[in-house]
């Protein structure tokens, strides 16, 4: 009888752990997808203005700069949620890449800005893959 209670307790704990894992994966995926979408839009916009002469950039430059600022603010909100259950070094890498992206764009270094966008996407994908419920991540 005692063995049945212990077995039932172990099963309940495993169900609880897997339920929490599913919830955290959902939160991670939802937050990362929002940031990835914003970064991809910024990449498209930078690609469009990359070859335009600097004299004609004024309004488009401001729009993209505002998008990058909005991305940074959105990331700061999402970072708080993700820092509860993700590794801080990975979150810091994304934060650092976004800050460098913003500075490179302000300095009109569009090719470096594109590289920073790709770096942000890389770190976001890395976080998402690492926190995925998968057999290779369990063992």
pLDDT tens, the chain, 139 aa long:
668 888 899 999 999 988 988 888 888 888 899 999 999 999 998 888 877 777 777 778 888 889 999 999 999 998 888 888 788 888 999 999 999 999 998 888 888 999 999 999 999 999 888 766 665 555 5
Total domain count for the chain?
Answer: 1
Pull the structure tokens for residue 134: 């998968």
Q: What is the pTM of this model?
A: 0.81
Please indicate, yes or no, if residue 28 is contained in any of the structural domains.
yes
Residue 11 lies inside a defined structural domain of this protein: no
Confirm if 60 and 49 have CB atoms less than 8 A apart.
Answer: yes
Q: Does any domain span residue 8?
A: no
**Burial tier of 86 (Cβ tally within 10 Å: 0-12, 13-18, 19+):** buried
* Cβ(123)–Cβ(93) below 8 Å: yes
Which domain, by its residues, includes 98? 16-138
Backbone angles phi, psi at 46, to 5 degrees: -65, -40
């Amino acid at each position: 009888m005692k063995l049945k209670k212990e077995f039932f307790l172990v099963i309940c704990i495993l169900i609880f752990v897997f339920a929490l894992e599913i919830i955290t994966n959902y939160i991670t995926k939802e937050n990362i997808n929002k940031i990835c979408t914003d970064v991809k839009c910024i990449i498209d916009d930078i690609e469009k203005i990359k070859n335009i002469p600097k004299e004609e950039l004024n309004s488009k430059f401001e729009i993209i700069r505002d998008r990058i600022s909005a991305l940074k603010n959105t990331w700061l909100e999402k970072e708080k949620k993700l820092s509860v259950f993700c590794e801080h070094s990975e979150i810091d890498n994304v934060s650092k890449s976004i800050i460098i992206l913003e500075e490179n764009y302000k300095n009109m270094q569009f090719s470096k800005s594109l590289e920073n966008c790709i770096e942000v996407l890389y770190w976001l994908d890395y976080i998402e893959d690492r926190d995925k419920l998968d057999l290779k991540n369990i063992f």
